[in-house]
Amino acid sequence: EAQVTQNPRYLITVTGKKLTVTCSQNMNHEYMSWYRQDPGLGLRQIYYSMNVEVTDKGDVPEGYKVSRKEKRNFPLILESPSPNQTSLYFCASSSLVHDTDTQYFGPGTRLTVL
């Protein structure tokens, strides 16, 4: 089954404790992206990657890091989480073959930073 998986689905942590949210896709997609979703602000792009070892900042990259060492994985790293990073995070992937290719979203990771 074609899918994007994220782990963990739920995470409560404390300020300053480094964490990683994993994202994996099994569709051999070139493009992967991370978003955060906050009430009243919609989905905002954090980082995206066009292919292995190619990453770029989205609209709200501050406080986040990503890596793309393998095509299927795109982890999101919070080196020193702060309460304003409490949010619902989504990973997404798509092929870059056609303009209208579908972007597939993972189920989301709800992060709370105390």
Partner 1 sequence: TQLLEQSPQFLSIQEGENLTVYCNSSSVFSSLQWYRQEPGEGPVLLVTVVTGGEVKKLKRLTFQFGDARKDSSLHITAAQPGDTGLYLCAGGISNFGNEKLTFGTGTRLTIIP
Q: Which chain residues interact with partner 1 by CB under 8 A?
A: 4, 31, 33, 35, 40-45, 48, 50, 58-59, 90, 92, 94, 96, 98-108
Nearest residue (CB) to partner 1, 16 versus 107: 107
40: CB partners within 8 A, 6+ apart:
none
> Which stretch of DSSP H or E encloses residue 52?
none
Based on CB atoms, which residue is closest to partner 1, 59 or 70? 59
- CB-CB contact of 55 with 31 (8 Å): no
First to last CA, the chain: 36
Shortest separation between residue 17's beta carbon and partner 1, angstroms: 26
Find the shortest distance in angstroms from Cβ 14 to partner 1. Answer: 25
- C-alpha to C-alpha distance for 31 and 93, rounded to whole angstroms: 5
Please state the closest distance from residue 96 (CB atom) to partner 1, in A.
Answer: 5
